[in-house]
Structure 1
Amino acid sequence: MPEPRLDVLCIGNAIVDVIANATDEFLAQEGLTKDSMRLVDAEEAERLYDHMRPAREVSGGCAGNTAAGIAALGGRAGFIGQVAPDQLGGFYRHDLTAAGVEFSTPPVDVGVPTARSMILVTPDGHRTMNTFLGAAQELAVDVLDEEQIRSSGILYLEGYLWDPETARNAMVRAIEVAREARRKVAFSLSDLFCVDRHREGFTALIDEARIDILFANEAEILAMAGVPHLETAVAAIAPKVETLVVTRGAAGALAVRGGERADVPAEPVDKVVDTTGAGDLFAAGFLYGEATGKTLVQSLRLGAICAAEVIQHYGARPEADLRALAGELAA
């Protein structure tokens, strides 16, 4: 098998994040569930945007955030996602490529604008996401660069993109190409919303051994296994994948690979400002570790370091030097 040209190729929703402060009272007035993610249509996106406080825009989307984190660590990262040929699409492309990520998927005019997510951040750092998927859900099989997939050591896919059939077909084809090329496939369950909505499809991917590395947080793995206790859920899911990674917020993270298990604590932080992107950057650190031959513990520690950095400021992209923070782990 030839050496990969890219360490990790990420596939996901190309979304511009629109981030604003909000109070718990505002969430209640808008009928929003704190710390949740919901999909909205264009009309609701406009209505909520009009009600929000002044906001700032940053390129986002789970897989895009992960790709940016890998690049910040010094890894060779790529991204596949769909934007429209509009102002936000151009902004997204420039922002991601400026971060050092290879993004060659062409923009396509599918009659809807580039996706955006209105993210409301409460004073305790928790975020409530309201996402209009727009062009992102129109990612199609025919825009995939299959040679790019074959030349990537790890293919990483976000569960959020499983929702629309067109994008789901593209993800399935990408997995097929990666497995035919004997590359690793990593998959994130992304959100409890995704597990509840797509448990059957996710279960099939896992049971058919199409996933090598599975990412989940504690709530997602409990829902996926259909049990109330973490250790029972880990015992049920871990044997079905090569590597299972479970993040637990302030309680740290764990990973299981065969007979090996590793647990690491969360990195200490001065203040949690915004949890947006914590899981995405954890995945970036872990995948960078896996791509560069680190041990299971070292990969988990890299994930914890990246997650700790991103929750100390607004936005889901690193602002500090991740390589410096990781020290010898990033060497």
Structure 2
Amino acid sequence: MATRRAALIGDAFVDVQVGGVGALPCWGTDVACSSVRLLPGGACGNTARQLGALGGCELEAFFYSCVGDDEPGRHYLRTLEAEDSLTSPSRTLRLLPGVPQSCCVILSGSEDRAMCSCYETVHRVTTGLFSAELLAESWALVHLGGYFNCVGLHDDALLDLLRALKARWSEHGMAAPHPHDCSGKWSGEGGHLRRLPPLDGGMGNKNVTSQTVRAGEAEREVLHSGLLPLLDVFLPNEAEACGIASVGEPTAVATAEEAIDQLTARHPSTLVVVKAGGRGILAGRGGERWEVPAAPVEAFVDATGAGDVCEAGRGAGDACSAGFLAQYLRDPADVPTALRWGAAVGALCVSRAGACETPLAAEEVRAVLECGAVRRSADVMRKRAGNGAPALRVAQSTNFPIKYG
């Protein structure tokens, strides 16, 4: 099998992992912790490292980002070079003189976490730093991670690059997960993620929403511009999916199912994969729907970078995204198996301190999928019949109880 190549563009953080925090400190106080460690992080960085390790000899993962020319930044670069799960990180990571490395201080308790972050290098990730190199190669996957963190990517240059890459490939994929949007806007800078027409749709009707604008080429062009229409796979968690699906709508979207229905109606060719905590993973494309249960975790250790698919129901989606993408690249037609890989990788990671400190090997995931089956459940794929009613097709799959210790 020929080696595939994946380009991952996004955020690189150094995580200052503070473990064993019983309660968050108040101003002017001190609390004890059990450990402090320096780890490579960032939503895209974690996904890239995990994907490179899971892909093994079948996949080369190239991570494009920026790091500071300071000790934290050089520590990040040294760690990735020594780890050897990525291809040529010293070439693909841009060293920025005089810019502090983006760092995230993570206070981890027994069930949840809190963070404080510096975004200096992450905000300087731009398309122009990498476009020539990306256009010179062919890719099985281009993945955008940490999108809301990387505000320098919220411009037409990125959209033009992705269009050019898609036009050149016969076999390709564009994927993007989206971490929490601290602004609460869920639209990207200037509506970059999903550009909407005016509220009246240019037709004088103040109640017209993005779903009901149908008249005129100009309205359709605006509705289908922005980043989302360019994606083959979209990987938010439930809160992110609901926030993004609610943009431009008269009422807020409240559930993963509603978000998938909204997003697939607008972008029917995009596979929307929503990580829904203890419920598992839900996905849809056009009229198709899939659901895979969460992999139970009996010994929750750390949510950092693990994803939102485990019974702990925490994390940023990094490992889950990598697990899904690793299998999806092997067989894009088999969505349920890719979803189960995502669930298994997320569950394995939260059982370990640091979560993404050491990327998983594919053999570890296969062992869970093959030997961890204790009870059976159903993946339900709903296909829309001609009258709009869902036609159910049930396929057997495994709910994976994972034991530790």
Q: Indicate whether the TM-score tops 0.5.
A: yes
Taking only aligned residues, the RMSD between alpha carbons, in angstroms, comes to: 3.0
- For the 8 Å contact 1:309–1:318, the answer to whether it is kept is no
What residue number does 1:229 align with? 255
Matched, 1:144 2:182: no
Structure 1's 304 and 315: CA in aligned 2 closer, same or farther, altered over 3 A?
Answer: same
Matched, 1:60 2:46: no
The runs of at least 4 consecutive aligned structure 1 residues that moved more than 6 Å come to none
Structure 1's 277 and 303: CA in aligned 2 closer, same or farther, altered over 3 A?
Answer: same
Question: What is the CA–CA distance in structure 2 between the aligned matches of 1:310 and 1:18, rounded to whole Å?
Answer: 18
TM-score by length of 1: 0.82
Structure 1's 9 and 163: CA in aligned 2 closer, same or farther, altered over 3 A?
Answer: closer
Gaps of 5+ in 1: 31-46
Alignment of 1:112-127 (within 5 A): 112-124=99-111, 126-127=112-113
| Structure ID, larger Rg | 2
What residue number does 1:191 align with? 180
Matched, 1:133 2:155: no
Pick one of 19, 22, 41 that aligns with 1:21.
19
Larger helix percent: 1
Task: Give the CA deviation at 1:197.
Answer: 5.0
What residue number does 1:77 align with? 61
What residue number does 2:6 align with? 8
Q: Encode CA deviations 1:124-154: one digit per residue, 9 max, x unaligned.
A: 1x12121101222212333205444542211
Gaps of 5+ in 2: 197-222, 247-252, 307-316, 371-405
Structure 1's 51 and 116: CA in aligned 2 closer, same or farther, altered over 3 A?
Answer: farther
Matched, 1:277 2:305: yes
Question: What is the CA–CA distance in structure 2 between the aligned matches of 1:4 and 1:133, rounded to whole Å?
Answer: 38
- For the 8 Å contact 2:11–2:150, the answer to whether it is kept is no
Matched, 1:266 2:294: yes
TM-score by length of 2: 0.68
- For the 8 Å contact 2:6–2:61, the answer to whether it is kept is yes
- For the 8 Å contact 1:6–1:151, the answer to whether it is kept is no
What residue number does 1:257 align with? 285
Question: What is the CA–CA distance in structure 2 between the aligned matches of 1:234 and 1:276, rounded to whole Å?
Answer: 26
Any idea what SS the aligned residue of 2:295 has?
A: coil
Task: Give the CA deviation at 1:195.
Answer: 5.5
What residue number does 1:201 align with? 192
Structure 1's 316 and 11: CA in aligned 2 closer, same or farther, altered over 3 A?
Answer: farther
Q: Encode CA deviations 1:176-224: one digit per residue, 9 max, x unaligned.
A: 3432323321111211536535353222398332121111111111122
Pick one of 134, 151, 154 that aligns with 2:141.
154
- For the 8 Å contact 1:159–1:194, the answer to whether it is kept is no
- For the 8 Å contact 1:121–1:128, the answer to whether it is kept is yes
- For the 8 Å contact 1:222–1:228, the answer to whether it is kept is yes
- For the 8 Å contact 2:186–2:243, the answer to whether it is kept is no
